[in-house]
Amino acid sequence: MTRGGLWLAAALLLVLPLDARSDDPSAETVVIQDASGRIVVVPAKSAAKRPPPVESETPAAREVGECEAHEAIISKWLKARERVIAAQRALEYAESIPLSGMGRYRDVRIRRAESELALAEKRESTADTTALDRGVPQRCLDDSHLPSADQ
């Protein structure tokens, strides 16, 4: 069964009570998937109170999501760093433009590069990198978190 098929089956199990013929609604039980991803049988009443698990909340999907989120944070910060370096180079270039005959053009380029650099530095310093403090989870470093070819 494909991963999509599995989720469909799990979703169907969620809405189908095990004992639909019972007259006493409190006696009804349903099969649900709990927060840790286990399939459990619980009274329909308590199941109704729980929000249905969505794919991204299950452990496997959560792992993929975590790895992707980590990757996104790293690449966002790296981009911010690259932008600072690029702005520094742009400013260096602007300052190398000869004053004679190109003074006005030089001034414009310098001003533009300076504001770009200030913005890039601000972006870099305000980037939320707290998730990096915990380090990249080991499972994100190999392919084990990726769905296999048959899924």
- Find the shortest distance in angstroms from Cβ 97 to other proteins: 13
Q: Is 3 in the site for other proteins (CB under 8 A)?
A: no
CA distance 76 to 65: 16
Tell me: does residue 138 bind other proteins (CB under 8 A): yes
Measured CA to CA, the distance from residue 89 to residue 18 in angstroms comes to 67
Stretch that binds other proteins, among 12-20, 35-43, 48-56, 89-97 (CB under 8 A): 89-97
Per CB under 8 A, the segment of 3-11, 26-34, 39-47, 134-142 that binds other proteins is 134-142
Amino acid symbol at 56: S
Residue 150 CB-half CA count within 13 A: 2
Out of 135, 142, 149, 150, which residue is the one contacting other proteins (CB under 8 A)? 135
Q: 133 with 100: CB under 8 angstroms?
A: no
Q: How far is the CB of 119 from other proteins (least distance, A)?
A: 14
